[in-house]
């Protein structure tokens, strides 16, 4: 809420521009995570076919997201 109040004061009530900017940033972050490749098998880590699942294991080889920290 404090950030929304700040945005209202900075943009004189034009919250649509703030929302569009926020949406673009969130879409870019999700897209970047979706196209991340697994270091073990080389396939997309979170993407199998058209299904995007943000799980902690690779959908193809079951490599855990923090496997390199365990060594």
Q: State the Cα–Cα distance between residues 41 and 66, nearest whole angstrom.
A: 15
What tens digit of pLDDT does each residue of 34-61 get?
A: 889 998 899 998 888 888 888 889 988 9
Q: Is-above-0.95 flag for pTM?
A: no
What tens digit of pLDDT does each residue of 1-33 get?
A: 687 778 778 877 677 877 888 899 999 999 998
């Amino acid at each position: 809420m404090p950030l929304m109040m700040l945005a209202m004061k900075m943009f004189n009530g034009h919250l649509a521009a703030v929302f569009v900017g926020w949406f673009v940033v969130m879409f870019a972050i999700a897209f970047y995570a979706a196209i991340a490749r697994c270091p073990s098998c080389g396939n997309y880590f979170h993407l199998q076919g058209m299904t995007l699942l943000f799980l902690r294991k690779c959908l193809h080889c079951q490599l855990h997201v923090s496997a390199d920290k365990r060594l």
